[in-house]
Amino acid sequence: MKKKYKFKLEGLLKLRKLEEDQAKMALSLLQKKRNEITDKIAIIKEQMQDHYLEHEQLLKKGLTARQSRFIPYFNEGKRAQLKKFEMIISEFDEKILQARDYLNSKRGNVKVIEKIKEKDVKAYKKEQNKKLNEELDERFMMRKAYESKL
């Protein structure tokens, strides 16, 4: 009866794969948040562009000086928001780089264990084939000896 193959480090491999999956999830979460902020920046830029167009239309219609005093404050506020979001994006870029490095190290750990497993499986199969060949050779010799007696 053949023994079933059992990898001795299977528990460690599962643990390393779990850590890799967690690192992937953390990286994707950071990228998702970065994309959300990038979308917010696009919306703000679009709002600023729309505001400029509205301002031009109002100037053509006859905007009063009192009404036009608000416009620079609005633009200043939007520019401040843009700077704030750009700083946040640069922070996320740093975090994403760190998360990628961490993920790469976890992937490396998994690959090391998987290569060990591959070598172990090859050695196991080689040993099983060797045993099977010895058994076949032994049966062949026994049959030949039995036939020579007859």
Domain contains 112: yes
Residue 1 has pLDDT above 60, yes or no: no
Query: Is 80 inside a domain boundary?
Result: yes
In a domain, 6, yes or no: no
- Nearest-CA neighbor of 16 among 120, 115, 94, 123? 115
Confidence at 74, pLDDT banded by 50, 70, 90: confident
Regarding predicted confidence, which is higher, 4 or 3? Answer: 4
Is 70 exceeded by the pLDDT of residue 70? yes
| CATH number of the domain where residue 96 is located | 1.10.287
- Cα separation of 27 and 144, whole Å? 66
What confidence tens digit (pLDDT) does each residue in 27-60 have?
A: 999 999 999 999 999 999 998 888 888 878 877 7
What distance in Å separates the CA atoms of residue 142 and residue 136, rounded to the nearest whole number?
Answer: 10
Domain extent for 144: 21-149
Domain tally, the chain: 1
Pairwise CA distance, residues 45 & 53, whole Å: 12
